[in-house]
Amino acid sequence: MQQSQFPILQSSVYGHPLIYLDNAATTQKPQSVIDALTSYYTSLNSNIHRGTHYLATAATERFEEVRRKVQSFIGAADRAEVVFTRGTTESINLVASSFSERFVGEGDNVIVSAMEHHSDMVPWQMACESKGASVRYIPFSDEGVLDLGAFERLIDSHTRIVAVNHVSNTLGTVNPVGGIVRIAHGHGVPVLVDGAQAVAHIPVDVQALDCDFYCFSGHKMYAPMGVGVMYGKRRWLDEMPPYQGGGEMIKEVTLEKTTYNELPFKFEAGTPSVGDVLGLGAAIDFMLAEGVANIGRHEMELHDYAVELMRTVPGMRFIGTAAEKAAVVSFLVGEAHPYDVGTLLDKLGVAVRTGHHCTQPIMDRYGIPGTVRASFAVYNTLDEVEAFVNALKRIAPMLM
């Protein structure tokens, strides 16, 4: 893989070559993805599914081809189980709203982990509030490991669904989702996995995991913003009511009553972001050419090297030190505010994220205002890791 495949990585920031370590927020896009977008808008743009003319038919075929590509990428049994959304947040809101409408009632509970992104916590709080149900939280250790014993004690005959992330965007923990699914299924409870931070780093097979829902965003896996996926097992999707009403999700509308389209269209109301979906197809091609497992291995090599070098920075404190981790390093330097660390690094050309990373309950758990987060992708290099840590060492005395 050449960094030159990613045009933005050739940029300079404040006179320094850009070192982009904010990949958990969004990855940069390879030229092939940018080309897929340009070529869609220069030669294929048309609204899909409803047209009979050449462009409409061609665009529809390409759109449905990407659905098959996603199906195979995540190992889904049926392409009708792949629903296109705007991203993870919309995917989870869809499930929280529609699943709860059908399956959650007064006095029931939903279990989520205490390390969820707000996008996998707030929709459940909202759904439970409207249904008179409650949310229960799986606690985690100081290292950032979920307490599965506590999870088993939380689950009971009123638990309707469990929602947990595959990889924590703040702690980097890779959660044992297969084990969580086995425990939940032992109680007849389905599991939603938030895969936003996993799909670009770990080969995912939804049938092997046996999860009931798997949600992710294109833009964190080299695809454009504006497209994501909600995978759901047909047995649930068949029973869940539509999330939004409008075009494409209907079979027939009369003034009195509407009947709904078959899967997956029942959950795809309105014109989708066709160009972005085609960009997602190009991003999957890019990842398959690299090999997802190879990408993950490369990133962990960078992660381990970064952690080793960072230990020599005065005042370094890591937040999230689980044995099973993805390539996310959250840290603090002495008593310095994460925002100050991020701002100084930025002036040296290093892009990291600072703040609560949409996981305020994690910050409360550790009693900190936020962290600085460096996260790695396929195009990062060992030289960049060294430059990042050298920049940290340079700014550390200013922060003490």
Give the residue from 173, 174, 228, 204 showing the smallest Cα distance to 26. 228
- To ligand PMP, the closest distance from the beta carbon of 85 in angstroms equals 9
Answer for the pair 19, 387: CB distance below 8 angstroms, yes or no. yes
- Bridge partners (DSSP) of residue 152 are none
Q: How far is the CB of 168 from ligand PMP (least distance, A)?
A: 7
For 122, list phi and psi in degrees, rounded to 5.
-60, -45
Segment interacting with ligand PMP (CB under 6 A) among 28-36, 194-202, 265-273, 369-377: 194-202
Closest to ligand PMP by CB, 197 or 261: 197
Cβ nearer to ligand PMP, comparing 108 with 194: 194
> What's the chain's Rg over C-alpha atoms?
22
**In this chain, which stretch among 66-74, 115-123, 152-160, 336-344 interacts with ligand PMP, using CB under 6 A?**
115-123
CB atoms within 10 A of CB 327: 27
- The values of phi and psi at residue 162, to 5°, are -120, 135
28, 169, 175, 371: which one binds ligand PMP (CB under 6 A): 169
**Of positions 28, 100, 113, 119, contacts ligand PMP by CB under 6 A:** 119
d(CA 135, CA 362): 16
Instruction: Give min distance, CB of 228 to ligand PMP, in A.
Output: 6
- Identify whether the C-beta of residue 135 lies closer than 8 Å to the C-beta of residue 116: no
d(CA 171, CA 6): 27
Based on the residue annotation, tell me whether 215 is a catalytic residue of this protein.
no
For residue 259, the minimal CB distance to ligand PMP (Å) is 31
**Nearest approach, Cβ of 78 to ligand PMP (angstroms)?**
24
Report if residue 303 touches ligand PMP, rule: CB under 6 A: no
* Site for ligand PMP contains 212 (CB under 6 A): no
Binding segment for ligand PMP (CB under 6 A), chosen from 117-125, 149-157, 246-254, 390-398, is 117-125
Contacts of 64 (CB under 8 A, 6+ apart): 79
Query: Shortest approach of ligand PMP to residue 257 CB, angstroms?
Result: 33
Residue 75 burial (CB < 10 Å; 0-12/13-18/19+)?
Answer: middle
Q: How many whole angstroms from its chain centre is CA 36?
A: 22
Which of 197, 273, 330, 375 binds ligand PMP (CB under 6 A)? It is 197
Sequence-distant (≥ 6) Cβ neighbours of residue 24 within 8 angstroms = 169, 197, 220, 328, 353, 357, 373, 375
Residues 271-300 touching ligand PMP, rule: CB under 6 A, are: none
Mapped onto helix, strand or coil, the DSSP state of residue 346 is: helix
Q: Which one, of 226, 276, 219, lies nearest residue 37 by Cα?
A: 276
Interface with ligand PMP by CB under 6 A: which range of 29-37, 96-104, 133-141, 192-200?
A: 192-200
Residues between 333 and 362 that touch ligand PMP (CB under 6 A): 358
User: What residues numbered 41-100 form the site for ligand PMP, per CB under 6 A?
Assistant: 87-89
- Candidates 37-45, 190-198, 299-307, 326-334 — which segment interacts with ligand PMP by CB under 6 A? 190-198
Near ligand PMP by CB under 6 A: residue from 94, 162, 196, 307:
196
Give whichever of 28 and 169 is closer to ligand PMP, judged by the CB atom. Answer: 169
Distance CA 50, CA 104 (A): 35
Contact predicate 354/371, CB 8 Å: yes
**Active site residue: 128, 211, 215, 358, which one?**
358
Q: Is 372 in the site for ligand PMP (CB under 6 A)?
A: no
Q: Which stretch binds ligand PMP (CB under 6 A): 114-122, 178-186, 327-335, 337-345?
A: 114-122
- For 91, other C-beta atoms within 10 Å of its C-beta total 32
Q: Which of 194, 268, 299, 384 binds ligand PMP (CB under 6 A)?
A: 194
**Sole binder of ligand PMP in the list 23, 71, 165, 330 (CB under 6 A):** 165
Cα distances (Å, whole numbers) of residue 83 to 36, 71, 77, 142: 21, 10, 13, 37
Q: Give the catalytic positions in this structure.
A: 358
Which positions lie near ligand PMP, rule CB under 6 A? 87-89, 117, 119-120, 165, 169, 194, 196-197, 217, 358
